[in-house]
Amino acid sequence: MGILTYLLGFILIFNITLGISIIFLERKDASSTWAWLMVLLFIPIAGFFLYLIFGKPISKRRIFTWDTKVRLGVKTAVQSQLRALEEERFIFKHKNITKYEDLIYLHLRNDDAIFTQHNKVEIFTDGEEKFNALIQDMEKATDHIHLLYYIIRSDRLGKRIADVLIKKVNEGVEVRLLYDDMGSRRVSRKYIKRLRNAGAHVEAFFPSRIPKVNFKINYRNHRKLAIIDGKVGYIGGFNIGDEYLGGSKKFGYWRDTHLRVFGDAVRDMQTRYILDWNQASRNDILYDERYYAADPAGDVGVQIVSSGPDSDWEQIKNGYIKMIMSAKEYIYIQTPYYIPDESLRDALRIAALSGVDVKIMIPNKPDHPFVYWATLSNVGDLLEAGAEVYIYQNGFLHAKTIVVDGEIASVGTANIDVRSFRLNFEVNAFLYDESLAESLLEAFNEDIKLSTQMTKKLYDERSLGIRFKESISRLISPVL
């Protein structure tokens, strides 16, 4: 009895000490603080280890040293564009874009995201089509190939990509591959060694000192970028692996959205890549004009917007909210996870209550169970406000798209959840173009045909078991 008393006393003191650290020393937001305190209360010992894996912050000074923007001249270009907007000297190619000048200004101020107007953008919603196009563009490369993916598998698609990269290295093309060490933890060492031995430059973002064992769940690079010869760029949701071609028995068809970009915006994608590469590698990419060889193409307005834990601002989330609050007619959203914070939740509810047609589409199956149940819990608030919720049935929905009023849209890597907004590195293309917005709207409507609608009546008839799972998941959602 005495030993048990001492043990309980030790656990109590330990939990109180850790709780004080979370509240007073690390300055987390209130919802995250309460979530971790609940974890410590209900699972005291295991909760400590969960906190070390999921919750422990890492000093930004130790892992974030972004200084390349100054060297690449980004700051100067941003200040010049800001002054032109402030002095009403900026010339828009399409007059209807002027109504979104405040959104453009926000991204300039908030993220140094330069607004470009000479772009051509192609949309992919199928993995086979996206990777066929990417491989064809890599086959044509004459100077360099820059790839950044959160997940790389050493499966058939991964091998196909590696074969092309090795072939291009042998042709004298400079090849760089950057992958996230956690997301790509299942990629084989043999795969990476083969690329390096061939002469490709390969780096892991935020790697663990122990191969294949990485407890650093937060601060992951969730971006997906490809830039070939500085002329064409890819950005969106597809990772490299057979499952993204629909080759997974668990998920079936993989529905995602990706963009192929020509024009001035490729320069901004290249800058994003160079920033990330220089953070992960000891061999910095220095400024060279050949990396910025994009020619003007088309007339699509684009801003490449990044966000991550290296900033106190949640740039992509702020862009989402600004888009939502600008809506007059409709807001269509596709996201695999819907776990918004209070600000974004309120923005969508206010829009729906104001008569804006709000539709959101989510998957019918989980790739992360707690996240899935938290998503189902959160859509109830939208149903209460009059929004329509659709459950995609034709495989797994992984697209991260927002379309507003047939004029602006966003496609990229950021989910609607705390992890994307605060803990991971993300990148989105904000698009100012009626034809692209219309194409994304058509894709959404085609997906509705493959979905079932979650009505208020069906939602209210959920079983007690489902409600219990949702309640637990929603309670811990700030730390998912």
Please give the positions annotated as active site.
Answer: 222, 224, 229, 398, 400, 405
CA separation (Å) from 263 to 95, 99, 231, 247, 315?
20, 23, 7, 33, 23
Which residues are within 8 A (CB) of 96 and not within 5 positions of it... i.e. 6 or more apart?
A: 407, 434
Specify the 3-state DSSP secondary structure of 420.
Answer: helix
Instruction: Round to whole Å and give the CA distance between 255 and 338.
Output: 17
Reference 412, options 196, 264, 261; nearest CA is: 261
Other beta carbons within 10 angstroms of residue 23's beta carbon come to 15
Alpha-helix residue ranges (DSSP H) falling in 43-188: 44-50, 60-63, 68-71, 74-86, 101-111, 127-139, 156-170
Other beta carbons within 10 angstroms of residue 144's beta carbon come to 20
Element of type H or E holding 173 = none
Instruction: Round to whole Å and give the CA distance between 255 and 129.
Output: 12
CA dihedral 123, 128, 129, 133 (to 10 degrees): 110
Other beta carbons within 10 angstroms of residue 406's beta carbon come to 16
Reference 182, options 154, 147, 211, 155; nearest CA is: 211
Instruction: Round to whole Å and give the CA distance between 398 and 105.
Output: 29
CA separation (Å) from 254 to 91, 402, 471?
40, 18, 28
CA atoms within 13 A on the CB side of 161: 28
Query: What would the two tokens of residue 183 be?
Result: 């997301």
* b/e sequence 255-289, b meaning 16+ C-beta within 10 Å: bbbbbbbbbbbbbbbbbbbbbbbbbbbeeebeeee
* Side chain identity, residue 128: E
Which residues are within 8 A (CB) of 273 and not within 5 positions of it... i.e. 6 or more apart?
A: 146, 148, 178, 225, 227
Instruction: Round to whole Å and give the CA distance between 219 and 238.
Output: 20
Contact (CB, 8 A) for 342 and 314: no
Q: How far is CA 284 from the centre of its chain?
A: 24
Instruction: Round to whole Å and give the CA distance between 231 and 293.
Output: 6
